A and B are shown apart, each in its own frame.
Chain A
Amino acid sequence: MKKGNFLYISIIIVGIIFIGRLFYLQVLNNPYKISPLNNASIKRVYDYPERGYIYDRNGKLLVANQQSYDLMIIPREVKSMDTIEFCSLLNIDKNTFIKNFNKAKKYSTRLPSTFISHVSKNDYAYLQEKLHKYKGFYIQKRSIREYPLKTAANVVGYISEVNQNQIKENSYYQQGELIGFQGIEKTYETFLRGVKGVKRIQKDKFNKEIGSYKNGIYDTLAIPGRDLTLTLDAVLQQYGEQLMTNKRGGIVAIEPATGEILSLVTAPSYDPNLMVGRKRSKNSVKFFGDTINKPMFDRGLQAMYPPGSPFKILTGLIGLQENVIDVNTIFSCHMGYKYGRNRKMGCHAHASRVNLNFGIYTSCNAYFANTYRNIIEKFDSPSTGMNTWNKHVESFGLGNFLGYDLPIGRKGLIPDAEYYDKWYPAKNWTATYTLSNAIGQGEVLASPIQLTNMISAVANRGYYYTPHIVKEIKGETLDSKFTTPHQTTIDKEHFEPVIEGLLEVFENKKGTAYSSRVKGIEICGKTGTAENFAIINGERKQLTDHSIFVAFAPKDNPKIAITVFVENGYWGSRWAGPIATLMIEKYLNGDTSRKYLEDRMFNGSLKEEYDRQLNDPEYHAEGEK
């Protein structure tokens, strides 16, 4: 009798488990539950609104929409047909036809799927005439992006079909819909796309549509996408792209008074129209696969370079703030700065007695090495000095994400005491260990947009606005984080002497950018020549220096702050200086008086230099630096 209970009890236990499971499935909330609005008997028809247009700051149209035509197929409705004629209409071969047909059939025989996407307008005209002969095929219109100015591909980004992860993360999207993948299209996706409308149509059990579901009370109207106005100046942007022809690097220009990004150039780049429609998949493989030129890599935002001499501006400012120098402090310089036996930071030939003003316009390494050392050694321990220095530098927006409204970027690197403690576990490091930081070499890394932001803060004499690319969204106020100024830790009065020095860079005959001066515009700037290295077979090998320039203009009430970076461009005044001043001139005057220089920049190429790197069998790009 007792053994008989075994089956008895098993039956009752299984019964309880089943009832519990059914209770979970049918009564409790669980992931299997589907809203009645997603009911199988209700067919949903979507109405896609047009994606918003994008304009530049002067109302020039940057991104528009164009009609595109997809050839759709419902495999079960396809009847026997003249495939040869059909293929020739579409300019495809028989294998493609069979492949696409089987793919569609595999997806579903009843549901429509795309047979050929983005049929050209010409093919469409032909096709429309003949399509009635081919049962099971029809044309679906779709709107795709168009870029009339062919510029700023890195800023506007592109749109593409949502992938599985995005569908999982955001229930708004369904298979086959488009989403912003990069740039503005990604950041402002929700504004640009609008909201699709849904119509629910009730079907009876024989799958016939019998009218709108519950008289349409759940239906929604499509909300059109909103137009965006960017802070970008399309003319300046195109000009910058032209100046960077056959060079690698980036230009970032910002309006200091607002933080608006005027131009954001990366070179080499691509025509955004190539990332649209049928061409996209082919070109995207090409662009993403180009690991040498990296056209999809935004050098203005993502590249981290040692900032070089422009960093001396900060060293000077911090020196003044920490009271370790004043405008009259004199350091001597005999071809460099000796800081130990056999240890010397080299400098170029100039008069030995150096004050701040002279130090800036002649870019004296020794002057800033002294200043830096005094800053660090002002405190009891090098750690405190290092952290004080770090705090000042980071207040200029360096060493961290700036918070601009584009989806990509790098933090850069501004070392602090902790960083060197890791490097020197004995913690016996002193100011001289880190001396290269004084002149923007060493461990310091910054992206071009961070440098522009830095010089923008200098132009404003002590504050900056978070750089941003969107000027206006229709019916929306700009995020307050873009209209709140960030104060730097440097007092306002310390900026004037430094800015005087930056002006002398152009105005003084010994200034490093004297040759790039522009009549009628008071430009303040700083050349830079940054050493850079690549790891080759485990050895650090020095490559041709980067050419760097940071500037703002005019001196009073500045309208533009700019950074130009040209990879392996030898020295600051060779490429970056002329490009920066041409950009400033173009922006402020609308044209340039220095056509010879402009031509030289348009036609100048560093291709040989890059090819040389490439052909060096020992060369492997390190990525950054």
Chain B
Amino acid sequence: MQREKNNIFAGVDLWLVLIFAILVFLGWLNIYAASTSEIHYEILDFNARYGKQLIWIGLSIPIIIVVLFIDTRFYERFASIFYIVAILSLIGLFIFGKNINGARSWYALGSFTIQPTEFAKAFTALAIAKLLSDKVFTFKPLKNHIKAFFLILLPAFLITLQPDPGSALVYFAFFFVFYKEGLPLYYFVIGGLSILIFVLTLKLGMHGFMPIMIYITLGVLVIILIYLIFYKLNILKKLWLQLLIIFSIICGYIFSINYIFNNVFQQRHRDRFNILLGKTTDTQGIGYNTNQAIQTIASGRITGKGYLEGDRTQGKFVPEQDTDYIFSTVGEEWGFIGSLVVILLFITLMLRIIHVAERQKSTFSRVYGYSIAAIFFFHFLVNIGMVIGLLPTIGIPLPFFSYGGSSLWGFTLLLFIFIRLDANRSYEW
């Protein structure tokens, strides 16, 4: 099963390519719907966003060809170089970057802007794959934990400084990979617990000067103590100090949450949390986007209003509807059935990536595939979760759907490097 060197498409996973093509096509249709406002006869009107998006889509074809053309070993060998270039390009933003909407996230070449953040994901994924595929690498020594965390936290930190905290959050997707490759479970238990406690502390609020969560924590402690006293007294004797320290830390954490929430967070962050936790209702100010998006989706009903018939989309009721809120267009014009199709497409894409990753013989390809599945998942979760009002407003794009060249190319790069790695699987050494 020698790969034919002169045919770059040989061995390519057609399922992935097909889903990619469908998503990009559907994405463009919705961008067209969301960005037409006045009469445009030309589909290739490059002043309109749908026209520009068509150019980005067109330009992604050479990118795909180049990616498929390059030899697999090149990605593995130069993963570190790619990573360093990505980091440098993120650092460079602070010097040469262009400030758009309050974030220094773009390089501008004339009227053309490019967002390195979108490409850094792919390069970080390569670096992680490289690190984890090292034959001597295991998650046993703590040193390796730190190495792995450093690789993802460095770009995340730089992106937070732009500031673009939403995109930085995406890097936490790599923890799925770490877990699969042997990172101990307690990181996730601690992580999950801290998020749960954070949300509950804010949701339940205060009783006088005392957060209500403190009472609940003490209640849990009492229950655990009772259980241990009656059934596992010897464990209690051994571990009482650890237990006490853990609970002191949790209580300290709960107390600090209020401080962080009130003093470190900015008002807009607080607003987002409060609206989502149902503590304030606001359909005019900060909650306007989400409320409009939900109403727009709800108005689509089962079958939708029909393509280009969505009056709320056409009336520009939802801000940022062609970028972060693109899914509301799907909901309105294609209804429940259309939304279902899009969600199923994404799920199919991610499950297919995992499936393909599992069949890789090389650790590098497998880890890389797993990383991008996690990245797609994270975007899918946060973006659609936000638009349908399940998660706070965090502005990250929906892969292949949201308007924007950098984002489209970033995801294309991410996916096609994997397709390239997979095409090579049969003769890996």
Q: Are B390 and A17 within 8 A (Cβ)?
A: yes
- Among the listed stretches B23-31, B124-132, B144-152, B372-380, which one makes contact with chain A, having 4 or more residues with CB under 8 Å of it? B372-380
Judge if A218 is at the interface, Cβ distance under 8 Å: no
Q: A26-B331, A34-B295 are in contact. Are A7 and B311 (CB under 8 A)?
A: no
- A36, closest chain B residue (CB): B299
Q: Which residue of B lies closest to A4 (CB)?
A: B180
Q: Does A10 contact B (CB under 8 A)?
A: yes
CA distance A206 to B335 in the complex (A): 22
Other-chain contact of A26, B297, B314, B377 (Cβ < 8 Å): B297
A7 contacts B347, CB within 8 Å? Answer: no
Bound-state Cα–Cα, A307 to B77, Å: 102
CB within 8 Å of A: which B286-317 residues: 294-295, 297-302, 308, 311-312, 314-315, 317
Cα-based distance from A4 to B340 in the complex (angstroms) = 25
Assembled-state Cα–Cα distance A33/B294 (Å): 9
Chain A proximity mask over B348-389: 1 for CB below 8 Å, otherwise 0: 001100100010000000000010011001001100110011
Q: Is the CB of A26 within 8 A of B298?
A: yes
Q: Which residue of A lies closest to B355 (CB)?
A: A8
Asked if A23 is at the interface (CB within 8 A of a chain B CB), the reply is: yes
Q: How far is the CB of B132 from chain A (nearest CB, A)?
A: 13
Q: Which residues of chain B have C-beta atoms less than 8 A from A346's C-beta?
A: none
A595 within 8 A of B: no
Interface string of A10-34 (1 = CB under 8 A from B): 1110110111011101110010111
Whether a CB of chain B sits under 8 angstroms from the CB of A596 is no
Asked whether A11 lies within 8 Å of B350 as measured between CB atoms, the reply is yes
Would you call A41 an interface residue if the criterion is a C-beta within 8 Å of the partner chain's C-beta atoms?
Answer: yes
Query: Which residues on A sit within 8 Å (CB–CB) of B373?
Result: 7, 11
- Chain A residues, CB < 8 A from B340: 19, 22
A40 within 8 Å of B (CB atoms):
yes
Contact call A15/B298, Cβ cutoff below 8 A: no
Cβ-closest chain A residue relative to B340: A19
Q: CB of A39 within 8 A of chain B?
A: yes
A-chain residues with CB within 8 Å of residue B390 when the two chains form the complex = 17-18, 21
Q: Residues of B contacting A25 with CB < 8 Å?
A: 294, 297-298, 331, 388
Residues 2-42 of chain B: 1 if any A CB is under 8 Å from the residue's CB, otherwise 0? 00000000000000000000000000000000000111000
Q: Which residue of B lies closest to A204 (CB)?
A: B314
- With both chains docked as a complex, state the minimum distance between the C-beta of A203 and any C-beta of chain B, in angstroms: 8
Tell me how many residue pairs across A and B have CB atoms closer than 8 Å. Answer: 99
A107 shortest CB reach to chain B, Å: 10
Q: Smallest CB–CB gap between B50 and chain A, Å? A: 15
Bitwise, A56-100 to B at CB < 8 A (1) or not (0) is: 000000000000000000000000000000000000000000000
B172: interface (CB < 8 Å): no
- A11 and B315 contact, CB distance less than 8 A: no
* A120 beta carbon closer than 8 Å to chain B: no
Q: Is B176 an interface residue (CB 8 A)?
A: yes
Closest to A205 in B: B314
Closest B residue by C-beta to A8 = B354
Chain B residue nearest to A3 (CB atoms) is B180
A32 to B350 CA separation, bound complex (whole angstroms): 31
Complex contact A11–B377 (CB within 8 A): yes
Interface residues of A in 225-267 (CB under 8 A from B): none
- Nearest CB in chain A: distance from B312 CB, A: 5
Q: Which residue of A lies closest to B347 (CB)?
A: A15
Q: Tell me which residues across on chain A come within 8 A of B46, comparing CB atoms.
A: none
For the complex, is A207 an interface residue (Cβ under 8 Å from B)? yes
Question: What range describes how many residues of B lie at the interface?
Answer: 35 or more
Whether a CB of chain B sits under 8 angstroms from the CB of A423 is: no
Contact residues, A103-121 vs B (CB, 8 A) = none
How far, in angstroms, from A347 to B379 measured CA to CA in the complex? 91
Q: Does B343 sit within 8 A of A, measured CB to CB? A: yes
Given contact pairs A7-B354, A41-B311, A22 touches B179 in the complex (Cβ within 8 A): no
Query: B336 at the A/B interface (Cβ < 8 Å)?
Result: yes
Q: Is the CB of B377 within 8 A of A34?
A: no
Q: Which residues of B contact A1 (CB under 8 A)?
A: 358
- Decide yes or no whether B339 CB sits under 8 A from chain A: yes
Q: Is the CB of A7 within 8 A of B294?
A: no
Contacts of A39 in B (CB 8 A): 299, 311
Assembled-state Cα–Cα distance A34/B388 (Å): 16
Determine how close the nearest CB of chain B comes to the CB of A205; give it in whole angstroms. Answer: 4
| A19 with B301, Cβ < 8 A, contacts A7-B370, A32-B294 known | no
CB < 8 Å: which of B294, B312, B344, B377 contacts A10? B377
Most buried by A among B37, B308, B336: B336
Contacts A7-B354, A25-B388, A26-B336: A14 and B317 contacting too (C-beta < 8 A)? no
Q: Is A172 an interface residue (CB 8 A)?
A: no
Contact of B343 among A3, A19, A40, A207 (CB under 8 A): A19
Cβ–Cβ contact B301 & A27, under 8 A: yes
Is the Cβ of B381 less than 8 Å from the Cβ of A14?
yes
Q: How far is the CB of B322 from chain A (nearest CB, A)?
A: 16
Q: Are A206 and B180 in contact (CB under 8 A)?
A: no
Cα separation A22 to B337 with both chains bound (whole Å): 10
In the complex, chain A residues whose CB is within 8 Å of the CB of B315: 40-41, 205, 207
Contact A26 B351, beta carbon cutoff 8 Å: no
- Which B residues from 163 to 188 make CB contacts under 8 A with A? 176, 179-180
Shortest A379–chain B CB gap in Å is 52
* B54-80 near A? 1/0 per residue, CB < 8 Å: 000000000000000000000000000
Residues of chain A within 8 A (CB-CB) of B381 are 14
Rounded to whole Å, the gap between the CB of B188 and the closest CB of chain A is 9
Q: Could you tell me the distance between the alpha carbons of A317 and B115 in the complex, rounded to whole angstroms?
A: 94
Bound-state Cα–Cα, A15 to B346, Å? 9
> What chain B residues lie within 8 Å of A12 (beta carbons)?
347, 351
Decide: A34 and B298 in contact? CB cutoff 8 A: yes
Chain B residues near A40: list those with CB within 8 A: 311-312, 315, 317
Q: How many whole Å from A181's CB to the nearest CB in chain B? A: 25
Residue of A with least CB distance to B300: A26
Chain A residue numbers with a CB within 8 Å of B312 are 40
Nearest residue (CB) in A for B39 is: A206
Contact A6 B331 (CB under 8 A): no
- A33 with B299: CB separation less than 8 A: yes
Chain A residue nearest to B388 in the complex (CB): A21
Whether the pair A18, B385 counts as a contact (CB closer than 8 A) is yes
Whether B354 pairs with A26 at a CB distance below 8 angstroms is no
- Quick one: which of B295, B308, B317, B331 has the most chain A CB within 10 A? B295
- Residues in B with CB closer than 8 Å to A21 are 388-390
Q: Please, how many angstroms separate the alpha-carbon atoms of A25 and B291 in the complex?
A: 12
Residue pair A7, B377 in contact (C-beta under 8 Å): yes
Q: Check B388–A18 contact: CB distance below 8 A.
A: yes
Minimum CB–CB distance from A110 to chain B (whole Å) comes to: 12
**Complex CA distance for A11 and B37, rounded to whole angstroms:** 36
| Min distance, Cβ A344 to any Cβ of chain B, angstroms | 55
Cβ–Cβ contact B336 & A18, under 8 A: no
Known pairs A15-B344, A15-B347 / 20 extra A-B pairs, C-beta < 8 Å: A4-B180, A8-B351, A11-B351, A12-B347, A14-B380, A17-B390, A18-B390, A21-B389, A22-B297, A22-B336, A22-B388, A25-B331, A25-B388, A26-B297, A26-B300, A26-B301, A27-B301, A27-B302, A27-B336, A32-B295
Of the A-B pairs whose beta carbons lie under 8 Å apart in the complex, a sample of 12, sorted by A's number, is A6-B179, A7-B176, A7-B180, A7-B373, A7-B377, A8-B351, A8-B354, A26-B298, A34-B299, A40-B317, A205-B311, A205-B314
Return the 8 tightest CB-CB contacts between A and B, nearest first: A41-B311, A32-B298, A26-B336, A205-B314, A25-B298, A15-B347, A3-B180, A40-B311
Q: Which residues of A contact B (CB under 8 A)?
A: 1, 3-4, 6-8, 10-12, 14-15, 17-19, 21-23, 25-27, 30, 32-34, 39-41, 205-207
